[in-house]
Amino acid sequence: MFKQFINKRFDKWLSRRMPATKEITLNSGNTFIFPSKTGIHFLVSCFILFLLGTNYQNNLILFLVFFLCSFMITCLLLSFKNLAGLIIKSVETHAQFAGHDIQFKLRIKHNKHSGQDISYKFQHASSVLHTIVESDSVCLYAFNKQRGYFNPGRVTVRSTFPFGLFNVWTHLDFGLQVLLYPKPIENKMSLQRSPSNLHDSSLNQSIAGVDQFSNLKNYQAGESLKSVAWKQVAQGRGWFSKQFEQSAGGDISLDIDTLNHLPLETRLSYICYQIIELERTEQRYALSLYNQNIEVGSGRSHQKRCLTALALVKGKR
């Protein structure tokens, strides 16, 4: 209880001292430096040696103590200089799916004296994936199951360079936020055709779909393994993927009310999966969500609009 109170007070103080910004230059005003555990042990050792030197009036021991203290002061200056002047900038994060590890990127600009042995992580870690640090960029990962807008919180930048005697750190707020679509759940929900297209002349045409086997094509990296023609692979003929087609019987209408027997989040996940599949098979579709209707369309912009609507829908859960 007391620890939570202290953390809340500290977070409020940080918000006042270091408000959210897209780009931050590290300096004495936004970094903190304290002796590490190794540094504390080092200081205790120096104090014990000092007591021995003064008690036995041993100048050699006293000289060693003064040398070690000057060495620690030098480490203090080098530790701060390692982070000072480092410029960190957030990169725009595109929408992703809930229930998966979410990637955030930062751009790093070093000066000639900074950038050695620095770690980056979220202050409140939620993903098991490790941060990927490159020469000019950093990839951090967070995890969240809930759709909608997600803020992973502050980024902790930390270093114990050069000898681990001092811990230099800061909690930076870049205002990171990402829109999370519902987690797609594979399903076989019945798809309704738009009534206005049921008697269209296109009924006799065939389009990409899932009904009947059409042909084989060369397998492309990233395609579902379910579509792989494993028989051809086993015979040593190479990697192929199966193509299917279905009768073009009009545009698809996705209506959330057709799944009223399911919880809201499950309904959204089912529709999310169908949107991805319909876009993959290049079919036109419309979306109906309570008080919001999206007209028939296709393409990436239409898919993004539909998925965004799913992510932000409000209703009885």
Q: What phi, psi does 293 have (nearest 5°)? A: -125, 130
Domain range summary for the chain, segments of one domain joined by +? 14-181, 192-312
pLDDT surpasses 90 at 234? no
Which two three-digit tokens encode residue 113?
A: 């004296």
As a dihedral over the C-alpha atoms of residue 138, residue 141, residue 147, residue 150, rounded to 10 degrees, the angle is: -60
| Nearest in space to 248 (alpha carbons), one of 282, 285, 194, 205 | 205
pLDDT tens string 252-281: 889 888 888 889 999 999 999 999 999 888
Angle between helices 59-83 and 37-56 (to 10 degrees): 160
What pLDDT, in 10s, does the model give residues 39-97? 999 999 999 999 999 998 899 999 999 999 999 999 999 999 999 989 999 999 999 99
Are residues 126 and 143 in contact, defined by beta-carbon separation less than 8 angstroms? yes
What six digits make up the tokens of 292?
């919001």
Nearest-angstrom CA–CA distance, 302 and 306 = 6
Residue 31, classed as helix, strand or coil, is coil
| Sign of the four-CA dihedral 52, 54, 56, 62 | positive
pLDDT in tens, 4-13: 888 888 888 8
Strand runs labelled E in the chain: 23-25, 32-35, 87-90, 96-97, 101-109, 118-122, 132-133, 137-143, 148-150, 155-159, 166-172, 178-181, 192-193, 206-218, 240-247, 252-255, 285-289, 292-297
Q: Please report, rounded to a whole number, the percentage of residues in the chain having pLDDT higher than 70.
A: 86
φ, ψ for residue 92, nearest 5 deg: -60, 135
157 — pLDDT class (breaks 50, 70, 90): very high
